[in-house]
Structure 1
């Protein structure tokens, strides 16, 4: 009888709490259920092995039909080798995606905690059913409830590697209130197959975060490839190729105007931008705060609308000279490639806070259709090293539709 009871207890210990999830010691293994939703099994794995444990999501097809919110990870290694598909129940996601504060954005999956990793081994695929979102959104931008694919939230000491995204719902990733984040070898692609554009499918955005290292990314997206937003510092982005995007961007910052935004110590280097809107640029609203000590180095591009750009009044293009958000100590070095039109740089700094410490070294921009590139500058330091060919009007648009 004692042996029978012991055997039954052992079975209980190794039996899965939910179909599709097995726990052995500190390892939780999730396998596809073949059902309509695998998120309960994945969440159960996080619950049982998310602290001082390991989680393995095996090869196979997994369906995600509910939000996943895990904010207490600690000393946890996550291995993903399968395909995770977020279902296309748009009304569910609009009502239930998790708010992340910034600009009323929300997310389908939020991870937080300390000392954790997520490795995709070059096999993990996150599929967002984005085409459904692109079509129903009909070219509009920031639909409330449209979820970011993956958000790091109040996360510290995190390593993410070897994951592929296809057709994300919105931004691919978002890093907020986090520190010491490394994200390497990521492949992201948002491409619409219909008349409606992907709109605002950024590769990643950082906000209120510091000490971030990004390396070896390939991104095709409908907006900024890498965007550094307010109160971000100590960011290093290296070896990233961006298609159809805004490439390397500081901003947007300064909205609302009553809340100062700060960006310090950012290095973008070894970047390729193909058929993109911009290459190395800074965009702010007429706000408060500063952007300081940013370097764009070894930026190569082909067919880019306006490679170098600064605006203190993005989107509204009003009150451009009233912004007090100071931009200083910015370096562009080894910036080479072809512009779509005849403008290599459009730089308008606010008259209320002129740019200082701008430095340009080895700038070689050639219009793809021939001729000489124009470099338009207003309210910048005279010793920048850029041979400005004219002034840049206030409200100079990010997207040009032809030669200046």
Structure 2
């Protein structure tokens, strides 16, 4: 019996242990287990080396089966070279994803703190098993508990670079209650392989945040590519290519709230086969504003309705009662082909007409030929847009043919 016990012990010693979090000084190194869940190792690294330390998530395949939530990072460098796959236990995520307050949204992965760099080195992959979500959602709306892939929450001075997303569960990234955020060289793709569409797989959304820089992104998604939501300010977006999306967008804002968006620049934007190119969408609201926004150097191919403003998005009712003011918006060097003959549908609320809209070097041609229409209502007459007619209050975001 003793000999058998010794043999068992020797066998146990000989069996390698896969997956671990090893700490050496201020460095935590995470390796994959090949098992059902690696989130515990990653969370352990955040807790032990997330302050004045370094975290290395090494190459290999990681399974994420539990929510990861850590908001106390400080002076930390995080290196991710592995492939992180969120499992497809939909019932777990529906019950356990973390609320982010905004519009009943929630997230599967949330980080916050101060002075943090997250580098993916062009190797990091976040795979959300999104097809399972798209299929079970069956083209319905925003299912409560369906998690955003990655959220920065109460983050100050964060740098995120070199990460790839494929088939996220919901939105790719969300930045809330944060400031001084830089996100560069990110590659995102939400594409359904079945009859069911992805439904609301935005590339980026900001909310209650300021001082944000986005550069060098490629995004394929079923909704807004880059969306600046309420109480966001000083946002700079440059060199982003958007496929099958809403491209560069302010909104939606003003849904049961007084929202403000100030000082936003979209520059060097490409939109391919998308719904819109450079646009603003609000709900009817009793106040708030969008002010000092620039869309510059926007190029697009086959876009449904390139330039668009709506004060009553989605419901298309009470459009002229909104007092959310849109002012000082510049569209400059806007070039491309519209899917139909409408190049712009601009309807501002009659209760708060748009002022200070400026259009320079606009060259939009219907892809099938003909003369483009520029529909305008309740906006300043010196905008530079060659308005060809009025834009009805109920003008839809998506067109089904020529006007």
What's the counterpart of residue 280 of structure 2? Answer: 282
Distance 1:153 1:74 in 2: 14
Is 1:161–2:161 an aligned residue pair? yes
What SS does the aligned partner of 2:91 have? helix
**1:19 CA drift (Å):** 5.0
Distance 1:165 1:19 in 2: 23
Structure 2: where are the runs of 5+ without partners? Answer: 1-17
**1:141 CA drift (Å):** 2.2
What SS does the aligned partner of 2:292 have? strand
What SS does the aligned partner of 2:188 have? strand
Q: TM-score, normalised by structure 1?
A: 0.95
Residues matched between the structures, number: 385
CA deviation map 1:14-43 (0-9, x unaligned): xxxx95110000000000011100000000
What SS does the aligned partner of 2:160 have? strand
Matches within 5 A, 1:232-251: 232-251=232-251
Is 1:49–2:52 an aligned residue pair? no
What's the counterpart of residue 348 of structure 2? Answer: 349
What's the counterpart of residue 14 of structure 1? Answer: none
Distance 1:306 1:386 in 2: 15
What SS does the aligned partner of 1:92 have? helix
**Preserved CA contact (<8 Å) 2:19 2:38:** no
What's the counterpart of residue 319 of structure 2? Answer: 320
Matches within 5 A, 1:84-95: 84-95=84-95
What SS does the aligned partner of 2:320 have? coil
Structure 1: where are the runs of 5+ without partners? Answer: 1-17
Distance 1:107 1:22 in 2: 27
What's the counterpart of residue 188 of structure 1? Answer: 188
**1:169 CA drift (Å):** 0.2
What's the counterpart of residue 267 of structure 1? Answer: 265
Distance 2:35 2:196 in 1: 31
**1:140 CA drift (Å):** 1.2
CA deviation map 1:115-135 (0-9, x unaligned): 001000000000000000000
**1:150 CA drift (Å):** 0.2
What SS does the aligned partner of 2:52 have? strand
Q: TM-score, normalised by structure 2?
A: 0.95
What's the counterpart of residue 15 of structure 2? Answer: none
What SS does the aligned partner of 1:298 have? strand
What's the counterpart of residue 213 of structure 1? Answer: 213
CA deviation map 1:176-206 (0-9, x unaligned): 0000000000000000000000010000000
What SS does the aligned partner of 2:321 have? coil
What SS does the aligned partner of 1:144 have? coil
Distance 1:51 1:330 in 2: 42
Distance 1:243 1:56 in 2: 32
What SS does the aligned partner of 1:321 have? helix
Is 1:151–2:151 an aligned residue pair? yes
Distance 2:175 2:141 in 1: 20
Is 1:253–2:247 an aligned residue pair? no
What SS does the aligned partner of 2:28 have? strand
What SS does the aligned partner of 2:390 have? coil
| Large movers: runs of 4+ above 2 Å | none
